[in-house]
Amino acid sequence: MEALDTFSRTFLPATALAKLPGGTVTRHVQVLRRCAGDRDAVAVVARCTTARGRRNVLMLTRNRLVVTSESAVLRRVSLHLNADLHQLADVTWTPEPGRAGIQLGVTAIDGVRENFWIRLGSEAEMWRLDEALKQAFRTPLGTIEPARAATSKPAAVRTTVAVSARPELRLA
C-alpha cells in the first residue's frame, strides 16, 4: 500500500471536521489539489458564500488560500480565488459566535476585494478557523497545524483582525 501524500493526509480529516458531504468533496478536490500541490498541508476546509450567494469551498493551507465555486444547475466547479498568503492584503475576519460563522475579507494581488461568509457547524469549529487564520496571517514564520480542535475559547466574543500584506511572511 502506497503512503498518502501530505495533501491527502490533511485534506481528508479537514473535510471530515467541516462535515462536507462526499459529493461536494469529490467535485471540488481536483481543483483544490491542483492549486495546493501534493506537499502542502491543509489546515481548514469550509463551505462559504459570497454576496452573489454562490456555493463555494474555502481551503486554507500553509501557503495558500483557495476558494472554488460551484454552479447552481450543472454543479460545475471553477476556481474563484487562488493566492499565496503573502499576496493577500487587508485580510480581515470577524468571528460571530451567535451565528456560528466568520465574515472574511481579503484583497487579492489584482486589487479585487473579496468577502466571504463562512458558516460553520458549531462555535468550536468557528474558533478553530479563527485560530488557523491567526496563525496564517499574524504569526511570522509560523506553522498551521492541520485539523486541530480548538482547546479554549478566546476572551473576546467579537473581534475584528486586520492584516496588511507582508512579503516577509513565509509559513514553514
Bigger pLDDT: 167 or 31?
Answer: 31
What are the grid coordinates assigned to 49, written together? 458564500
Task: State the amino acid at position 172 in one-letter form.
Answer: A
Domain boundaries, the chain: 6-163
Neighbours of 115 (CB within 10 A): 13
Q: Which residues have a Cβ under 8 Å from the Cβ of 44 and sit 6 or more positions away? A: 14, 18, 58, 59, 60, 128, 129, 132
Write the CA distances from 7 to 32, 40, 81, integer angstroms. 10, 6, 19
The closest alpha carbon to 80, from 47, 37, 44, 125, belongs to 47
Q: Could you tell me what percent of the chain has a pLDDT over 70? A: 78
The closest alpha carbon to 52, from 116, 4, 5, belongs to 116
**Topology (CATH level 3) of domain 6-163:** PH-domain like (2.30.29)
Task: List, as one string, the DSSP characters of 55-117.
Answer: EEEEEEESSEEEEEEE-TTT--EEEEEEEEGGG-EEEEEEEEGGGTEEEEEEE-TTS-EEEEE
What are the grid coordinates assigned to 39, written together? 506537499
**pLDDT exceeds 70 at position 126:** yes
What are the grid coordinates assigned to 159, written together? 473581534
Check residue 152 and give its pLDDT.
45
Check residue 42 and give its pLDDT.
92
What confidence category does residue 151 fall into, taking pLDDT thresholds of 50, 70 and 90?
Answer: very low
Check residue 58 and give its pLDDT.
94
